[in-house]
Amino acid sequence: MTPIPAPPIAWNALLPILVLAGTAMLVLLADLLPPRESKQHLGALALAGIIAALVIALVRWGTDVCGFRDMVRLDGYALFFDIVIAYAAALVVLLSMDYLRRRGAESGEYYALVLFAACGMMLLASAGDLIIVFLGIELMSLSLYVLAGLFKSRRQSSEASMKYFLLGVFASAFLLYGIALLFGAAGSTNFERVAAAAARNPHDTLLLIGVALLLVGFGFKISSVPFHMWAPDVYEGAPTSVTALIATGSKAAAFAALIRFLTTALRPLQPDWTALLWILAALSMTVGNVVAIAQTNLKRMLAYSSIAHVGYMLVGLVAGGPQGTSAILFYLFAYVFTTAGTFGVLTLCERTGGTPEPDGDGAVDVREYAGLGRRSPALAFALTFFLLSLVGIPPLAGFFGKFYLFGAAVRAGYVWLAVIAVLNSAVAAYYYLRVVVYMYMREPEGAAATLAPSFAGGLALAIAFIGIVLLGVMPAPFVELAQVAVAPLLR
């Protein structure tokens, strides 16, 4: 029996992930210690871990390390997404500290699960092998399934959890079969080996069907039409802070893995998947926006609007090249701030639902936002800005996001897709602005309480607000960062 040689361990390539996993375990341990009545310190601990991961990602900017037989790669691209994910997780933790305490649902496990989910997301960002993609998606999703069902006594919450779980695992089955076929075609699950196999024989049946199944799995995870049916119910039923995490972090992470896989491993097949994604993009934009018009529940409306935003981002993937790809990265960065901010205001407003039980449904109907402009001008002002950014009004972040995406599509010759996207953005303005109209031009029904966000909640909103204004006023440096980030993919 020959001894097994110890493999080299590339700590550097895993640093942000290790910090998050370590913090999650620390949070679980600290949960056992006093003080037991308040859990605010655990939120602060989780936040500290996320900030540490963020700082590491910022400090390591410009490095490029691989490890574990090229299974993970911490390059500029991964670091960019690590930063996006860290921002999303940090904003969600800040919002949760306020939201969960009000709901009486604060627990150490909640923060640990948020950290585990963020771990999975960062793994997806640096995955260079399909097995890591699979494990990353599962780590992220398992944590999110549980978080979605956090409010156990509220029916919508546990139903959302079950629906998310069953459809998520269903998608995983497709993903896994796709991985199996790609393994059969390439003899390995490594992106580079898959790329080599695709270059050798781009029209191998095994490869093509494997990619199709894999795209079905990814379609579920990014909730693009026609694999979107879980999103509205899960967004509506899950606790709002968890919805924010699903809408921002999990979407960014799934996109991170999808973009890296398509552009590095499947470049020889680009014409094939571009044609497929063209259809998905057009469908997602149109269905998302049209159905969103009919919604009166704000969380549901935002779910459909997020499906539409997925469509916009797919436009960038169709356009391809450095411009299209970097435009998606910029858009995601802007989208994370905007969406976290929007859901942040929602978590703060939910307290006016006036339901005494901790799991009661809060204010999510658009009518309950009537007169918010008078009741709490600051919140209404912030929500207005977030919604305007989602519409894409200059000079906010969302405008430049769309500008770069659609511009890249036009330059790549996809004029019709860009036209569909612009028309859709016009449709979207209607339902976003309707909320603004309610806030400023309608009288509230009955006496509504005034709202004052706690320090943590206010801080989260302030960070998101500064984010969208900064990205909107001076987008150039961030676009350059995104271009640097995608450079390693397109070599």
The footprint of another protein on residues 7-66 (CB under 8 A) is 7, 9, 14, 21, 24-25, 28
**How far is residue 203's CA from residue 200's CA, in Å, rounded to a whole number?**
9
Near another protein by CB under 8 A: residue from 45, 86, 100, 105: 105
- Nearest distance, CB of residue 308 and another protein, angstroms: 19
Near another protein by CB under 8 A: residue from 44, 66, 109, 360: 109
**How far is residue 221's CA from residue 138's CA, in Å, rounded to a whole number?**
11
- Nearest distance, CB of residue 300 and another protein, angstroms: 10
- Nearest distance, CB of residue 183 and another protein, angstroms: 5
Positions 225 through 254 that interact with another protein (CB under 8 A): 233, 236-237
- Nearest distance, CB of residue 478 and another protein, angstroms: 31
- Nearest distance, CB of residue 68 and another protein, angstroms: 4
Positions 207 through 226 that interact with another protein (CB under 8 A): 209, 212
Q: Cβ closer to another protein: 288 or 398?
A: 288
Near another protein by CB under 8 A: residue from 42, 47, 181, 211: 181
Positions 358 through 377 that interact with another protein (CB under 8 A): 358
User: Which string of x and - marks every residue 379-418 that binds another protein (by CB under 8 A)?
Assistant: ----------------------------------------
Q: Pick the stretch among 205-213, 257-265, 319-327, 400-408 that binds another protein (CB under 8 A).
A: 205-213
Could you tell me which of 17, 114, 24, 137 has the C-alpha nearest to residue 67? Answer: 17
Q: Cβ closer to another protein: 143 or 263?
A: 143
User: Which string of x and - marks every residue 317-356 that binds another protein (by CB under 8 A)?
Assistant: ----------------------------------------
Near another protein by CB under 8 A: residue from 46, 57, 89, 139: 139
Q: Cβ closer to another protein: 152 or 367?
A: 152
- Nearest distance, CB of residue 91 and another protein, angstroms: 21
- Nearest distance, CB of residue 107 and another protein, angstroms: 7
189 contacts another protein (rule: CB under 8 A): yes
Q: Cβ closer to another protein: 193 or 374?
A: 193
- Nearest distance, CB of residue 93 and another protein, angstroms: 16
Q: Cβ closer to another protein: 304 or 400?
A: 304
Q: Cβ closer to another protein: 9 or 58?
A: 9
**How far is residue 112's CA from residue 270's CA, in Å, rounded to a whole number?**
39
- Nearest distance, CB of residue 451 and another protein, angstroms: 26
User: Which string of x and - marks every residue 264-293 that binds another protein (by CB under 8 A)?
Assistant: ------------------------------
Near another protein by CB under 8 A: residue from 143, 263, 352, 483: 143
Q: Tell me the three-class secondary structure of the chain, residue by residue.
A: CCCCCCCCCCHHHHHHHHHHHHHHHHHHHHCCCCCCCCCHHHHHHHHHHHHHHHHHHHHCCCCCEEECCCCEEECHHHHHHHHHHHHHHHHHHHHHHHHHHHHCCCCHHHHHHHHHHHHHHHHHHHECEHHHHHHHHHHHHHHHHHHHCCCCCCHHHHHHHHHHHHHHHHHHHHHHHHHHHHHHHHCCCEHHHHHHHHHHCCCCHHHHHHHHHHHHHHHHHHCCCCCCCCHHHHHHHCCHHHHHHHHHHHHHHHHHHHHHHHHHHCHHHHHHHHHHHHHHHHHHHHHHHHHHHCCCEHHHHHHHHHHHHHHHHHHHHHHCHHHHHHHHHHHHHHHHHHHHHHHHHHHHHHHHHCCCCCCCCCCCEHHHHCCHHHHCHHHHHHHHHHHHHHHCCCCCHHHHHHHHHHHHHHHCCCHHHHHHHHHHHHHHHHHHHHHHHHHHHCCCCCCCCCCCCCHHHHHHHHHHHHHHHHHHHCCHHHHHHHHHHHCCCCC
Q: Pick the stretch among 183-191, 217-225, 280-288, 391-399 that binds another protein (CB under 8 A).
A: 183-191
Size of site (CB under 8 A) for another protein? 71
Positions 144 through 173 that interact with another protein (CB under 8 A): 145-146, 149-150, 152-153, 155-156, 158-163, 165-166, 169-170, 172-173
Q: How far apart are the first and last CA of the chain?
A: 44
Q: Is residue 395 reached through a cis peptide bond, with omega within 30 degrees of 0 on the bond before it? A: yes
Residue 285 near residue 228 (C-beta atoms within 8 A): no
Q: Cβ closer to another protein: 236 or 368?
A: 236
Near another protein by CB under 8 A: residue from 48, 65, 138, 374: 138
Which CA distances in Å does 413 have to 127, 288, 325?
31, 24, 15
126 contacts another protein (rule: CB under 8 A): no
**How far is residue 36's CA from residue 437's CA, in Å, rounded to a whole number?**
44
